[in-house]
Amino acid sequence: MNDFLSSGMEVYISTIFPVMPFSDLDADSREMLDEKATSHIFALLKKTGDRYVFFDSLRRHSKGFVPYERNHELGLITKEELYRGLQMKFEMSVYQKSTDIPLYAGEYPYLFVKRFGRELTETSQPDGICEVSGLEAIKCFREYVTFHNRDLGRKSRQFSYKSEADILTWKLNDLACRRHLLGQWLVKQCDASKIKTFGKQLSSSANIIDMLVFELLREKVYPPIGVSTLEEILLELKKMESKLLETREMISEAELEDRCPHWK
């Protein structure tokens, strides 16, 4: 691992997340140390003295997060703190440059735009479970939290140490991160005005999702999030999703086909 870092390569580590100092999970619980449930991947960027500089996808760090002085989006972890987790589980991967990657990497954002309208309006029922997305998903979420008065504070069926609110904010965080990054990429890399507009709206939707996550975390859903606040946020999100669909309709299929020729 240290040899890779010394050569300037990024190293991706998978270990037991609760024992990391920047984790917000309780490492004292036995079920916390279950490998399948609490594995987590983050990137080590370099070693400086007896500490490592790392990057993690979490947008809100715990109190144990120590920022790197040259870039506060990055964190610092001591050798002892890191090795504690690696002694329990240690999987490592590195990224090797390939001449094939640049041929296709720049097409993926346009592929997302190309499929956006279709995937946001489709519903399916695999195994009797109805899956919805886009505007319909916003409607279902509203009903889930308000009309049915479901207790998001109860334990999750997936992970007993997490509440359903924890799982929800985790997934919403992922969605916001991906939308923000993709939106920024489209704005900075694309020269077409309509696609730039789509990127800006995508980033705006990520900010609204962030507001929703903030409210869920602030209230801890004990008692449940205030209905008026929820209604306001979801109304804004619904408006932005509608704008995204409208902008997508204005982007011609031919223009997108030209930008992602390998995915026709």
What pLDDT is stored for residue 208 in this prediction? 92
Asked if residue 74 lies in contact with residue 55, where contact means CB atoms within 8 angstroms, the answer is: yes
Q: Which residues of 86-107 are buried (b: 16+ CB within 10 A; e: fewer)?
A: beebeeeeeeeeeeeeeeeeeb
Q: What are phi and psi of 233, to 5 degrees?
A: -65, -45
pTM of the model: 0.69
Give residue-wise pLDDT tens across range 192-207.
899 999 999 999 999 9
What pLDDT is stored for residue 183 in this prediction? 92
Angle formed by the axes of helices 108-121 and 193-219, nearest 10°: 60
Higher-confidence residue of 40 and 35: namely 40
Give residue-wise pLDDT tens across range 205-235.
999 998 888 777 665 544 444 556 778 888 8
Number of H helices, E strands in the chain: 10, 6
What pLDDT is stored for residue 168 in this prediction? 80
What pLDDT is stored for residue 222 in this prediction? 42
What pLDDT is stored for residue 223 in this prediction? 44
154 lies in the same domain as 73: no
189 lies in the same domain as 160: yes
Average confidence (pLDDT) over 37-45: 79
Give residue-wise pLDDT tens across range 108-122.
788 888 888 665 555
Last residue of a domain, one of 31, 65, 94: 94
90 lies in the same domain as 198: no
Give residue-wise pLDDT tens across range 122-169.
555 666 667 777 788 888 888 877 665 556 677 766 666 677 777 788
Domain of residue 207 covers: 101-263
126 lies in the same domain as 251: yes
45 lies in the same domain as 129: no
What pLDDT is stored for residue 225 in this prediction? 47
88 lies in the same domain as 218: no
* pLDDT of 47 over the 60 cut: yes
What pLDDT is stored for residue 197 in this prediction? 94
231 lies in the same domain as 145: yes
What pLDDT is stored for residue 239 in this prediction? 93
Give residue-wise pLDDT tens across range 55-73.
886 655 667 889 899 888 8
Give residue-wise pLDDT tens across range 89-102.
888 998 776 655 55
Q: Number of folded domains in the chain?
A: 2
